Structure 1
Amino acid sequence: MVINNPYAQYKENSVFTATPEELTLMLYNGLVKFILQGINAIEEKNIKKANGCLIRCQDIITEFRATLDMNYEISKSFDSIYEYMYRRLVDANIRKDKAILEEVLGYAKELRDTWQEAMKLAKRGR
């Protein structure tokens, strides 16, 4: 596939060359971005756009859950968190409820920031 847009080409290359840790961070950033877009769409009463954004959020959470290594106890804790976030996203999508999205946004930002900090600590330890 030929991509003429330099930004799209850069984005595609960054995904293909990213480490697993960086890909996880990209997913967290995408989750935050799509929740914010969902909130804006609800405020604008754009139901179709809100639905699309929230479906993308649900897909990201599904990916997080699918990639957990359940041989570790912490993975079970993350699975519970992701399951809760997923259910709340479904509720928010059904009700088009901004308050629920703001709750999930808080969790998503906290997870993203924690992941980012863990990446920095791991890099220093090398």
Structure 2
Amino acid sequence: MFGTAHKGANAYAKVDLETGVLAATPHKLIVMLFDGAKMAVDRACLHIQNKETAAKGQAISHAISIINDGLRASLNKQVGGEIALNLDALYEYMCNRLFEANLKNDLAILSEINGLIIELRDAWLAIENTPGASIPKPVAAEHSDPLAHRVTSFARA
């Protein structure tokens, strides 16, 4: 009548994830992308070990999508300079290696990519509280008034 417990757990997890995404800072969103990519690679490893070819392919595709459409797409190569260009090349390499791991059922490649994800995530976490390395946060209490050409506040007395 009410569905399975599995469906309920999935719905709860989805709401929890969506709430986490909506409440996250830009910095935390990148961490979440690294976490998602790592989980997808971990799932791919399990599927290879269990000889679940279709599920392995889906997990690897998910990891590639997170890296390409999330991490790589978030790079600003004009502002980020050499670091952004190097990360772009690294993300491309990681996606190519994941594709190769999918073709060869290669756990060693997946382990290599997991190591890279962990290193990048740890480096990203290390800069979170570094002065001068912060990501601009949206201003919640102010908006730009296009008619007055000045910044006004909603919280005026």
Into which bin does the TM-score normalised by the smaller protein fall?
0.7 to 0.9
**Residue of structure 1 equivalent to 2:76:** 69
* Larger Rg computed on CA atoms: 2
Question: Between Structure 1 and Structure 2, how many residues are aligned?
Answer: 121
Match of 2:118 in 1: 109
Distance 1:51 1:114, change over 3 A: same
CA distance 1:6–1:61, shift in 2 (3 Å) = closer
Q: How does 1:45-56 map to 2 (within 5 A)?
A: 45-56=51-62
Cα displacement (A) at 1:120: 3.4
CA-atom RMSD in angstroms: 1.8
TM-score (norm 2): 0.71
Structure 2 gap ranges (5+): 1-7, 135-157
> Match of 1:74, SS?
helix
Deviation by residue 1:77-103 (Cα, 9 ceiling, x = unmatched): 101111110100010011111111011
Kindly indicate which of the two structures has a greater share of residues assigned to strand. Answer: 2
C-alpha displacement of 1:8: 3.0
- Alignment of 1:9 onto 2:15: yes
Aligned to 1:25, the other structure's residue is in SS state: helix
Range moving further from structure 2, 41-50 or 5-14 = 5-14
How is 1:1-126 mapped onto 2 (pairs within 5 angstroms)?
5-63=11-69, 64-71=71-78, 72-122=81-131
Q: Which amino acid aligns with 1:51?
A: G
Percent same amino acid at aligned positions? 31
Deviation at 1:122, TM superposition (A): 5.0
Q: Which amino acid aligns with 2:63?
A: C
> Could you tell me how far 1:7 is from its partner in structure 2?
3.8
